[in-house]
Structure 1
Amino acid sequence: MSIVLACDLGGTSFRAALVDDTGCIQAQHAIAGPASQDDRSGSSEIEAEAWWALLIEACSGLAAGAPALFEAVEAVAICGVTRTQIFLDRNGRSVRPAMTWKDTRSNALAARLRETLDPAHPESAGINAFHPLARLAWLREQEPEFFDRLACLLEPKDYLNFRLTGRRASDPVSMARLLAVAASHDGRDLLAAAGIPASILPEMLEPWEEVGPIQSDLPAPLDRLIGKPVFCASNDTWAAVVGLGAMREGYAYNISGTTEVLGVIGREPARAEGLLTVDWRGLFQLGGPSQTGADSVTWLLALLGRDGAEIGPEIDALLGRPRQSQPLLFLPYLQGERVPYWDPSLRGALVGLNRQHGPTDLAFAVLEGVACLNRIVLERAETALGRAATEIRFGGGAAANPVWSQVKADLCGRPVVVAASKEPGLLGAAIVAFTGLGRFVSLAEAQEALVIVARRFEPDPALKPAYDALFALFRRAEDVLAPISRDLVAAAEEKRPLADLARHASAAAILHAD
């Protein structure tokens, strides 16, 4: 039996597992991720060293719980959250905290970049607060003392690979947006036009290529893996799609964790408004990440005074009760939105509340609101590709809930297929490692051998008219409420009169205390 160490650095947790060559997880250790430091300015930051500490802690847990298996590890592969920038100096030290996928401080600067940079460049329209070019331009403008020290930009999984091997490298999937602005168009590239040196780009490797062997002088228990190969891997979405067996033409995928990612896989590149087209090394994905998902459920449970640490049982209890005949609409934009709107000023809403609505109605509204957003992305991708997806491979924590799987199937009108592995990101990373070791000739062969389907949810034809009507109302509500959301956000940010309302809450708290 061959064993690899697979890791998945997620938005809210770090998971490490010892996986055998049948795709079975023999041992696993999960840790809550470092909490980002967020504030009202749009800042969201994490110290890079915190992720390194998590890797050591997770490996320590595995080595203690399964020492023989840990000693048998033949290779390491780490996938990880993307749209998060780690800034290193020439000595490999972090010059400032990493900017996470939630950071929106560069929103105004991104708008200026779109106006001033070459509009004919294919990437110009996609520059927004979540784009690495906007983040780098913000750093150059707002923190020049740190920008001047910048020598290399890495994603979190690349940083861990660097700490393990000493080599600064990434892959073209994780760095797709940065590579896009660095690409020349009619002799001009956006990276240089924004004053960002191309020298900050790390070396590019394919996900299944080796970064290097694990170096010596690492803390325990990593010192027991000296010389083992570390494979580059890619972002957590790409790895999870491999782990779901969805890296195939005509398939759609939906990875649902704290936030969701949805896309469709095609043989040729296609473009659609608000969606990302990324070369996934022989195939192309059209879709991208949202800001909503299980986090919306966590928010709801907190709002209802329920145990947010027990999301599964709590949401199951709510969904198991009758709902009112008049449904609610939920716009799930609690943190703004990335795909397909790329607007940090969008806000959520519950539309249609009446006196009879209760927690169960709210729970269904949240699930259906997220599924409506899934459908928008799916329809845009399918239209651009000129064909419907054959099925949606569904993975992540929410895939354990059969009601949510069925809601997605009914609202999107496509079969939803759940794989047997509850950790598709870990399985995808393991598939990368086994492919890199030569156990399989390709990722396609590896996913065919190691991915097993557990359940299939077919759309209910009887519900199609009702969900089509709900979706149409959802789109109308979006159109009407988006401008109001932006005005509310602007009022708070610009200290206009509406922002003064916050003082009433403070005064009320003081009076209550007295």
Structure 2
Amino acid sequence: MAYVLGLDLGTSALKGLLIDEKGTIIGSATADYPLIHPASGYSEQDPNEWLKACEQVFESLQTTVADFGEQLAGISFSGQMHSLVVLDEEQRVLRNAILWNDVRTTTQCETIMADFGEELLAITKNIALEGFTLPKILWIQENEPELWGKVRHILLPKDYLGYWLTGTMHMDYSDAAGTLMLDVAEKQWSQAVLEQFAIPSNYLPKLIDSSGQTGILQPNLAEKYGIQQEVKIFAGGADNACAAIGAGILSVETGMVSIGTSGVFLSYEDQQLPTYQGKLHLFNHGIKDRYYSMGVTLAAGHSLSWFKDTFAADLSFEELLAGIDAIEPGAERLLFTPYIVGERTPHVDSQIRGSFIGIDTNHTLTHFAKAVLEGITFSLKDSQQLMETIAGKTFEKIVSVGGGAKNPDWLQMQADIFNSEIVCLTAEEGPGLGAAMLAATGLGWFEDLQACSETFVSYRPGALPNPQNVEKYQKLYPIYQKVYGATKVISEAFCDE
């Protein structure tokens, strides 16, 4: 039986997921690589480390899966979004990649929005933030002009890996949407953006659908790893798009909440683009001619980890959260806002900081732990509310993935706060599964991603809303929303000191 390989090029590791035509996982492998922090707020990576990691993944699968070389038929990718890779005319890497979590570009973002903000939002459906690719290009133009003079190719991480595997350069629409250079509705590089910021259009790769074929595995690599037949390579998608595909987010009635270090509330969008005016991210999906919107909480799981490490380092997460179900919604009038590293949605504010509001002598460690979970979930509800009020969405169910799906009490809290059925993945494989599904669809194993999802994706029950708790949270949520405005001035005053 033939196999597809989904390669998930993340921030800290490359993960390979080998799957057969029935959706069965045949093998997996992971290879780590380092982050580079040359200065405060800088985050970089050597693109050559991604290639070494890919070789390690191939070597591992060749060793552990006896028929890897005989049955591998297709490869596709999921990639960390926004990170900038620049090559010269000989296709050589010119500098370390500037990653999505690099925040050196505040000045460039301010300039973009002041000079071109309305036009940028109309074209790309997003506002300029430090994570996006365009501000990073401007930073190189301004701070490394000699190097910029040598640039001839601009890629994103997964696309550089794809170039190494095939010898061709492409970028799919879902990743291109995160560069701030794509006309999202027209699905083409925006000449207006490129001309405004002096970026030659021939520096950018050919655009392609996520399940579109970009080439075949280069013969030298096939020979090295004992691959005996032609292996087709497919473009792949941005990590959030692939995560949505791997979670089966293929209809407007289903949302996804993902709680890792950061948190994401994501929704499928059809051909009719909503007008979020930059309040939410809006990107092309990995599904042809479709889109997805999402809001981001910068410190979701990070807030819980910070709280545990600071106030309960000797406890496990299970011990810390034991007993939260016995405390009524609202943690007896204790609220937490998870703005401990600033916030993204709905408040684009790098200066705001977190807070506990309503502390009194009755509150125990368990009250605080419950308040932290509620605050994280309220912050993600902010994104849900924008989708419901601006686009008129109604979510029949929400797929919970990541850390928030591991605790039954937190799942119940999500059902109650989102007022929606919560389901979980039977086997949570992340963006790598979405990448594998793109390869399987590209090979023609399935008519489309919906058909592929019916084979590759399955769910287990999570939680149903408790009407009494829903009513209580509906009263608490507007109070939570007031905390941002009440603490904004205080946070700004601290920054002025």
TM-score between both structures, scaled by the size of structure 2? 0.89
Which residue of the partner structure matches residue 475 of structure 1?
481
Which residue of the partner structure matches residue 161 of structure 2?
160
Instruction: String of CA shifts for 1:253-275, please: whole Å, max 9, x gaps.
Output: 22333322222223211022411
Which residue of the partner structure matches residue 280 of structure 2?
275
2:332 and 2:367 in contact (8 A); partners too: no
**Cα offset for 1:248?**
1.3
**Cα offset for 1:383?**
1.7
- SS of 1:189 mapped into structure 2: helix
Alignment of 1:81 with 2:118, yes or no, is no
- Residue among 195, 199, 205 paired with 1:196: 199
- The verdict on how the C-alpha distance between 1:142 and 1:383 changes in structure 2, with shifts beyond 3 A counting, is same
- SS of 1:467 mapped into structure 2: helix
- SS of 1:174 mapped into structure 2: helix
- The verdict on how the C-alpha distance between 1:107 and 1:22 changes in structure 2, with shifts beyond 3 A counting, is same
Distance 2:228 2:358 in 1: 57
Alignment of 1:143 with 2:144, yes or no, is yes
Worse overlay, 43-52 or 5-14: 5-14
- SS of 2:488 mapped into structure 1: helix
The residue correspondences of 1:355-504 to structure 2 (distance < 5 A) are: 355=361, 357-488=363-494, 490-491=495-496, 498=497
Distance 1:305 1:14 in 2: 32
2:117 and 2:127 in contact (8 A); partners too: no
Distance 2:33 2:257 in 1: 22
- SS of 2:211 mapped into structure 1: coil
- SS of 2:174 mapped into structure 1: coil
- SS of 1:128 mapped into structure 2: coil
Distance 1:377 1:438 in 2: 36
Aligned-residue Cα RMSD (Å) equals: 2.8
**Cα offset for 1:220?**
8.8
- SS of 1:394 mapped into structure 2: strand
1:239 and 1:429 in contact (8 A); partners too: yes
Instruction: String of CA shifts for 1:283-333, please: whole Å, max 9, x gaps.
Output: 2222244423333333333324638xxxxx932221113576525322223
Which residue of the partner structure matches residue 67 of structure 2?
68
2:85 and 2:160 in contact (8 A); partners too: yes
- SS of 1:463 mapped into structure 2: helix
Instruction: String of CA shifts for 1:97-131, please: whole Å, max 9, x gaps.
Output: 21222112111221122112263451487122223
Which residue of the partner structure matches residue 346 of structure 1?
352
Which residue of the partner structure matches residue 334 of structure 2?
328
- Residue among 297, 303, 306 paired with 2:304: 297
Distance 1:54 1:289 in 2: 29
Which residue of the partner structure matches residue 234 of structure 1?
237
Distance 1:297 1:17 in 2: 29
- The verdict on how the C-alpha distance between 1:227 and 1:347 changes in structure 2, with shifts beyond 3 A counting, is farther
The residue correspondences of 1:304-315 to structure 2 (distance < 5 A) are: 304=311, 306=313, 314-315=316-317
- The verdict on how the C-alpha distance between 1:31 and 1:487 changes in structure 2, with shifts beyond 3 A counting, is farther
The residue correspondences of 1:94-173 to structure 2 (distance < 5 A) are: 94-117=93-116, 119-121=118-120, 122-123=122-123, 126-173=127-174
1:104 and 1:344 in contact (8 A); partners too: no
Distance 1:482 1:223 in 2: 59
**Cα offset for 1:161?**
1.0
2:134 and 2:181 in contact (8 A); partners too: no
Which residue of the partner structure matches residue 34 of structure 1?
34
**Cα offset for 1:470?**
3.0
Instruction: String of CA shifts for 1:434-492, please: whole Å, max 9, x gaps.
Output: 1111111111211123221112421111112332233222211111223333443x44x
Distance 1:143 1:17 in 2: 38
Instruction: Give, as a single letter, the amino acid of the residue that structure 1 aligns with 2:87.
Output: L
1:164 and 1:215 in contact (8 A); partners too: yes
1:7 and 1:78 in contact (8 A); partners too: yes
- The verdict on how the C-alpha distance between 1:292 and 1:419 changes in structure 2, with shifts beyond 3 A counting, is same
Distance 2:69 2:306 in 1: 38
**Cα offset for 1:69?**
3.8
Instruction: Give, as a single letter, the amino acid of the residue that structure 2 aligns with 1:43.
Output: Y
2:345 and 2:382 in contact (8 A); partners too: no
- The verdict on how the C-alpha distance between 1:24 and 1:350 changes in structure 2, with shifts beyond 3 A counting, is farther
Distance 2:173 2:72 in 1: 27
Distance 2:387 2:128 in 1: 20
Which residue of the partner structure matches residue 20 of structure 1?
20
Distance 1:70 1:482 in 2: 58
Which residue of the partner structure matches residue 319 of structure 2?
317
- The verdict on how the C-alpha distance between 1:401 and 1:445 changes in structure 2, with shifts beyond 3 A counting, is same
Which residue of the partner structure matches residue 11 of structure 2?
11
- The verdict on how the C-alpha distance between 1:458 and 1:67 changes in structure 2, with shifts beyond 3 A counting, is same
- The verdict on how the C-alpha distance between 1:477 and 1:28 changes in structure 2, with shifts beyond 3 A counting, is same
Structure 2: runs of 5 or more not aligned: none
Instruction: String of CA shifts for 1:79-102, please: whole Å, max 9, x gaps.
Output: 122122222222222212212221
Distance 2:284 2:359 in 1: 43
Tell me the number of residue pairs that the alignment of Structure 1 and Structure 2 aligns. 484
- SS of 2:118 mapped into structure 1: coil
Which residue of the partner structure matches residue 507 of structure 1?
none
- The verdict on how the C-alpha distance between 1:219 and 1:118 changes in structure 2, with shifts beyond 3 A counting, is same
- The verdict on how the C-alpha distance between 1:319 and 1:12 changes in structure 2, with shifts beyond 3 A counting, is farther
